Amino acid sequence: MHIVILDGYAANPGDLSWEEMKQLGNCVIYDRTSPAEVLERSRGAEILLTNKTVLNADTINALPNLRYIGVLATGFNIVDTEAAKAREVIVTNIPAYSTDSVAQMVFAHLLNICQQVQHHSEEVRKGRWSNNPDFCFWDTPLIELRGKKMGIVGLGHTGSRTARIAIAFGMEVYAYTSKSSFQLPHEIKKMELDELFSECDVISLHCPLTPDTREIVNASRLSLMKSTAILINTGRGPLVNEQDLADALNEGRIYAAGLDVLNQEPPHADNPLLTARNCYITPHIAWASTAARERLMQIAVENVKAYIEGKTMNVVNK
């Protein structure tokens, strides 16, 4: 069994082990693979594993030995699943491995915005507290979450976990979801999307990226939000029109945004959000805790092992 991992560095930059995967066959691991290198490195492989390396129809059709593509992530838009299906190539993904870590990042951003932890810590390091005439200081609003309204767009694994944390903070939780009101816990109220944006103090995005949800956050929807509202996006970058969000932040039409994902990653230097007022950006790391990456790699092994044994799991192109 010839296994090729095209871009293993993101999931495992060296702190974890590929040993279990290596036990399943002849395993060749590349840290990164450029588009020009994909075809040559993939030749002869029955099993290809990819995180963000694109496998398009031309590549899939040029690999006669290919039988299985394993995406080392939950999202699988980097693979032409229809082309794979036409060739009877199985495509799997890794669902729900980072639920806790992503929900944790939602509140890392939210608490930083509410308490301005990074800012005040930096001011202390500059000596401002040591030279302060009073026992304490703060120079931004300090926001308490209890009683605030949290609006969650998409109530899957991560959205539901985020809701539970919000409830623990004493927040009122509302959700825009395909689930019926009868399917929701009593602490979570269903709400239409525009009402969610207009009524809630915090909006957190957890829906998949589809043609219907692309730029679901745009100038029109941002205009509905309170001037004190906070937007959090740990889902998919293209859910947000970045220029519209930057304009809303710079003009004070919403208070702040915490983002772990952008449209282009890494971002172009002229991305308007990089310099927008009260915009806090982390480099797509919500998924990347050690525990989450250990789960990712374990599920990847289980997916491949199931394929070898003729019992496929987590297939996305049935």
Checking DSSP bridges between strand 90-92 and strand 188-190, what pairing results, if any? Answer: unpaired
The CATH number given to 2-97+290-308 is 3.40.50.720
Residue from 2, 119, 277, 284 carrying the catalytic annotation: 284
The pLDDT, as a whole number, for residue 22 is 97
Taking the CA atoms of 167, 171, 177 and 182 in sequence, report the sign of the dihedral they define.
positive
Catalytic residue flag (residue 120)? no
Tokens standing for residue 83: 């082309």
For residues 193-222, average pLDDT: 97
Distance between CA atoms of 25 and 307, rounded to whole angstroms?
13
Confidence of residue 100 (pLDDT cuts 50, 70, 90): very high
Tell me the pLDDT tens digit for each residue of 13-59. 999 999 999 999 999 999 999 999 999 999 999 999 999 999 999 99
Confidence of residue 126 (pLDDT cuts 50, 70, 90): very high
Checking DSSP bridges between strand 47-50 and strand 68-71, what pairing results, if any? Answer: parallel
Residue from 187, 195, 265, 268 carrying the catalytic annotation: 265
Distance between CA atoms of 308 and 149, rounded to whole angstroms?
48
Q: Give the type of residue at 265.
A: E
Mean pLDDT of the chain: 97
Tell me the pLDDT tens digit for each residue of 271-295. 999 999 999 999 999 999 999 999 9
Catalytic residue flag (residue 164)? no
Catalytic residue flag (residue 284)? yes
Tell me the domain boundaries of the chain: 2-97+290-308, 99-281
CATH 3.40.50.720 fits 99-281, yes or no: yes
